[in-house]
Amino acid sequence: MRLQGKVALVTGSGQGIGRAIAVRLAGEGARVVVEDRSDNTAAEETLARIRQAGSDGCVIGGDIGDARVDARVIAQAVEAMGRLDVLVNNAGIEKRADFLDVTEADFDAVLGVNLRGTFFTTQAFARHVQDRGGGGAVVNISSVHEELPFPHFASYVASKGAMKMLMRNMSIELAPLGIRVNNIAPGAVKTPINAALLSNGKALDALLGNIPLRRLGRPEDVADAALFLASDEAAYVTGTTLFVDGGLLWNYAEQ
């Protein structure tokens, strides 16, 4: 059991990658706080799977991205579980629009969840870690688009590029507290966030042709990487991004 005695909080774990991470960490002994926009049936289903995996936890609702909400979520989690050791900033959204058409409301929504959420949830987590004497791990679910342009998703790439630099900065500032901070950059993973793409056969074929390993990622592929970065096996890993993308990012060939 690689996370025995640890408590983890996974934002946005009512579905997709977040759910897979929550269940994977639970399978290694962690008690897990399932965080989602609200205490909904999807979040309760994740908690049920955590219990099936032999662990326990609780559900906390909150729309990540408002600093007061982020601090309240951390405080409630600490109250419910006694402590937090691992924070997975997984909650994320994207909105498709040509750059010329992006609205301020959509820009704010995307930057709000992806960037402000990661920023202020980690700040509240780090203050808790400081209060209890240090030690912890933060794993941010970023994207290949922290490096790679993504036409029609300008606000999304802005948020993910910023998450890369935020992670690097936090890894230095939080090292004295014994907190490691790393990103995971998934490629194309089969989850609700890209449901539209996945139901478009032509677009899906084009995408698969661009992935050297010739398949979509599974949420479990990302969960395995999150487990590693959250565990003591990654004790000397901080300030870096682990790409879990089947080779997508650096694929280039002239036929």
- Taking the least distance from each CB to ligand BGC, the nearer of 107 and 150 is 150
Shortest Å, Cβ 218 to ligand BGC: 14
Minimum distance from CB of 210 to ligand BGC (Å)? 9
CA atoms of 124 and 4, how far apart (whole Å): 23
Q: Is 106 in the site for ligand BGC (CB under 6 A)?
A: no
Between 91 and 193, name the residue whose CB sits nearer to ligand BGC.
193
Q: How far is the CB of 75 from ligand BGC (least distance, A)?
A: 30
Of these residues, 156, 159, 189, 227, which one is catalytic? 156
252 catalytic residue (yes or no): no
Binding residues for ligand BGC restricted to 144-163, rule: CB under 6 A: 144-145, 150
245: nearest Cα among 202, 214, 201, 200: 214
| Phi and psi, residue 139, nearest 5° | -125, 120
Does 197 interact with ligand BGC (rule: CB under 6 A)? yes
- Asked if 188 interacts with ligand BGC (CB under 6 A), we say yes
Minimum CB–partner distance for residue 96 and ligand BGC (Å):
9
Active site residues: 156
Footprint of ligand BGC on this chain (CB under 6 A)? 94, 143-145, 150, 187-188, 193-194, 197
